[in-house]
Amino acid sequence: MDAAELARLTAWDRAHGWHPFTQMKQWTDPGHQPLFVTGGNGPWLEGADGRRYFDGNSTIWTNLHGHRHPHLDQALRDQLDKISHVSALGFCNEPATRLAKALVDLQPAGSLTRVFFSDDGSTAVECAVKMALQYHQLTGHPERVGFAAFENAYHGDTMAAATLGGIGTFADRFRRFGLNTQHFASLEALAEMPQAFSEGLAAVIIEPLIQGSAGMRTWPKGMLGGLRRWCDERGVLLICDEVMTGFGRTGRMFAGEHEDVVPDFLCLAKGLTGGYLPLAATLTPEWIYEAFLGTYAELKTFFYGHSYTGNPLACAVALANLEVFERENTLAELQPKIVLLGELLAGMRQKHRRHLGAVRQCGFIAGLDVMEDAAAARAYPWEEQTGARVCLAAREAGLLTRPIRDTLVLLPPLCSSPEDLRHAVAALSYGLEAVCGPG
Ligand SMILES: Cc1ncc(COP(=O)(O)O)c(C=O)c1O
């Protein structure tokens, strides 16, 4: 892209764009030159500035096997030669049916046997929420209308998903328009609630093992298993939101596997298509599905769907994405790289003792807290956007990632090589030193 074209596009973006989670006054400031990403290859991105950057947050936590992966590209081209969209209302398409079967086959035998497709993480959660409420209505428990969620949780931005969220900045404005949700700091806090409370609950929702948007906060070992037991004892449904953790991110295919937990609803999106196209799935067991069966006149039908439900292009690329896990032995190859990432992060923490507080890692997910003075547990004033400035400085060293407030996030594509990981951590370290100073 030449300089004149870049200037024209930048002007159009300033004039007509509205970016998510972005203060547009700051974005459209003439001093801010947005980066147009023009290409990608493996875990690397190319900018309109002619530079290469490592994709340090896997293009907002979606990419697994890299950009322009030949097998995923081919699957998409093959499907394009057949048809790009088929309505799931009244028709089937081959990739969607094959994908549903493949997703069920990834679960413990006979556990989650039904797959409902939607478009993104938020709608995967919306489906689970509506299914949970309707399930209780259909099985004689219309009083189960409440939801329990966790403080600092994030489950998406559509209205129901947003009000399940526990991050005030995102959800507080909308709480009174959304679900009847109560938030808890821990399983222990939830367990203190009286029986009457749990009798009014439709479901509990959790990001298993690690809360992403909270700043990559890990749950204590055993918490997920304990929550499963708590729900079982009280007839409360369990929704596992694996939108971020699904598809190998934690080192296993699904985070629930670490604690042998099968939820009643499993919400999947992001990595489902390897970061290619929007697609989501909500998986549920047969006994929940069966509650929705009846004559048409009984109105037990799940009246929910989107125009692009089960889109064949997205499903074809998702199938190819799952095939790559087999072909490239992705999960086995990942294990030593998880260890290496841990070592590199430990080295970085050692080097930046003054300005790095906690460093958390769960598989190929890492969060590093930037502090004004880590020893004194003193954070930078949040309005200074130190985390964002560190990430901007890390760009100079060839890394793109996005912080969560002052937590630096490193969430590399699963295909990253040891050299790529070394590059990413070195670039982050460069950015930290450039903004906060040495030590
Ligand atoms: C755990 C979790 N759930 C849901 C979502 C929402 O997904 P989407 O942005 O695809 O709607 C996200 C997005 O970051 C997420 O991390």
SS3 sequence, the chain? CCHHHHHHHHHHHHHHCCCCCCCHHHHCCCCCCCCCEEEEEECEEEECCCCEEEECCHHHHCCCCCECCHHHHHHHHHHHCCCCCCCCCCCCCHHHHHHHHHHHHCCCCCCCCEEEEECCHHHHHHHHHHHHHHHHHHCCCCCCCEEEEECCCCCCCCHHHHHHCCCHHHHHHHHHHCCCEEEECCHHHHHCCCHHHHHCEEEEEECCCEECCCCCEECCCCHHHHHHHHHHHHCCEEEEECCCCCCCCCCCCCHHHHHCCCCCEEEECHHHHCCCCCCEEEEECHHHHHCCCCCHHHCCCCCCCCCCCCCHHHHHHHHHHHHHHHHCCHHHHHHHHHHHHHHHHHHHHHHCCCCEEEEEEECCEEEEEECCECCCCECCCHHHCHHHHHHHHHHHCCEECCCECCEEEECCCCCCCHHHHHHHHHHHHHHHHHHHCCC
Please give the pLDDT value at position 327.
Answer: 98
Cβ 43 under 6 angstroms from ligand 1: no
Q: What is the pLDDT at residue 201?
A: 98
Name residues of the chain where pLDDT drops below 50: none
- Could you tell me the distance, in angstroms and rounded to a whole number, from the CA of residue 155 to the centre of ligand 1? 5
Q: Check if 155 has its Cβ closer than 6 Å to any atom of ligand 1.
A: yes
Q: Is the CB of 121 under 6 A from ligand 1?
A: yes
Nearest residue by C-alpha to atom 7 in ligand 1 = 121
Closest protein CA for atom 8 of ligand 1: 121
Question: pLDDT tens for residues 58-78?
Answer: 999 999 999 999 999 999 999
The CB of 124 under 6 Å from ligand 1? The reply is: no
Residue 409 near ligand 1, beta carbon < 6 Å: no
pLDDT of residue 205: 98
Domain 35-65+329-436 has CATH 3.90.920.10: no
The structural domains of the chain, with segments of one domain joined by +, span 35-65+329-436, 72-327
> What spacing in Å lies between the alpha carbon of 230 and ligand 1's midpoint?
25
- Cβ of 413 closer than 6 Å to ligand 1, yes or no, is no
User: What is the pLDDT, as a whole number, of residue 439?
Assistant: 81
The CATH architecture assigned to 72-327 reads 3-Layer(aba) Sandwich (3.40)
Minimum CA distance residue for ligand 1 atom 10: 121
Q: How far is the CA of 177 from the centre of ligand 1 (A)?
A: 20
Which pLDDT score, from 0 to 100, does residue 1 have?
Answer: 84
